[in-house]
Amino acid sequence: MTEKYVESLNGRTCYWISRPKSGGAARCLVFLHGMTADHTLFEKQLEFFSADFTVLAWDAPAHGRSRPYRDPAYANAVGELERILAAENITRAVFIGQSMGGFHTQSFLTRHPETVEGFVGIDTCPYGEGYYSRSDRWWLRQVGWMSRLFPLRILKRSIAKAAAVTGYARKNMLRALAPYGKEELCRLMGLGFAGFLEENRDLRITCPVVLIAGERDGIGKARQYNRAWHEHTGFPLYWVKQAGHNANCDNPVEVNRIIAEFIAGL
């Protein structure tokens, strides 16, 4: 894959892109990782789909190689994604968002629904005021300061253990967490959850959607939110065995199969 970047007043956002060697027009898949992860979260998907599709993955603003970045608000992240797609002349794509990457996708959908050909949500949660209780919203606002109570090493290991159940997936998460100091990591987590609350709104998604969640996802109430999302909208929901919050890392074979079948049906 070729590493590239776009720049704005907030900083530089790095991304990676690969186009099929066969040339010609190919459907584009945009992979958006979760909070504190980076583009390597999708290395098993990028490898699997790159022969037949244009694949694009980024390090989200304030993550990985897209650091430093001044203000990683969701609206600013959408702006960077707009710049990336414009630079690559991509006008339609399937968006595959894991956790926070699903928030980025839904923020993008509120502004550019015509660009999103399909949405694959992996262990993410829905936009919509009705899904979140007053208690839910209060706890999400406490993440930043509460994370500061833990020593950095314990905090990173706790994040990796909560996000993944396999050795490979936990190592992947720890590798992504390695560059962060404590203040940067805690600030990123606080802004990520508080920013979601500010961005959250009722959203009617009209493109095809499939929801994927690890059976052992232990991050917050993600499993509960996915059930409610499925029941409210009828979007198909697949539970992945032997997988946690980073289901595409824990069980890439099953997740790749679900994604491939979804794309084939578009």
Q: Are 211 and 236 in contact (CB under 8 A)?
A: yes
Q: Are 121 and 104 in contact (CB under 8 A)?
A: no
**Half-sphere exposure for 4 (CA within 13 Å, toward CB):** 15
Structure confidence by residue, pLDDT tens digits, 194-244: 888 989 999 999 999 999 999 999 898 999 999 999 999 999 999 999 999
Rounded CA separation 61/67 (Å): 7
pLDDT band at 142 (very low <50, low <70, confident <90, very high): confident
Task: Please tell me the predicted confidence (pLDDT) of residue 23.
Answer: 65
Give the domain ranges of the chain: 2-264
Rounded CA separation 185/35 (Å): 10
CATH code for the structural domain at 2-264:
3.40.50.1820
Q: Are 175 and 169 in contact (CB under 8 A)?
A: no
Task: Please tell me the predicted confidence (pLDDT) of residue 257.
Answer: 98
Task: Please tell me the predicted confidence (pLDDT) of residue 52.
Answer: 94
Task: Please tell me the predicted confidence (pLDDT) of residue 57.
Answer: 98
Task: Please tell me the predicted confidence (pLDDT) of residue 240.
Answer: 98
Residue linked to tokens 């694959």: 120
Task: Please tell me the predicted confidence (pLDDT) of residue 16.
Answer: 98
Task: Please tell me the predicted confidence (pLDDT) of residue 220.
Answer: 87
Please state the rounded mean pLDDT for residues 240-257. Answer: 98
Which positions ≥6 away from 81 have C-beta within 8 Å?
Answer: 30, 58, 104, 108
Task: Please tell me the predicted confidence (pLDDT) of residue 140.
Answer: 85
- Report how far apart the first and last C-alpha atoms of the chain are (Å, whole number): 25
Structure confidence by residue, pLDDT tens digits, 84-131: 999 999 999 999 999 999 999 999 999 999 999 999 999 999 999 999
Residue of 65, 97, 62 lying closest to 1 (CA atoms): 65
Please, which residues bridge with residue 16 across strands? 3, 57
Task: Please tell me the predicted confidence (pLDDT) of residue 60.
Answer: 98
As a whole-number percent, the residues of the chain with pLDDT over 70 amount to 99
Residue 261: pLDDT over 90: yes
Residue 22: pLDDT over 80: no
Q: What is the mean pLDDT of the chain?
A: 95
Task: Please tell me the predicted confidence (pLDDT) of residue 24.
Answer: 62
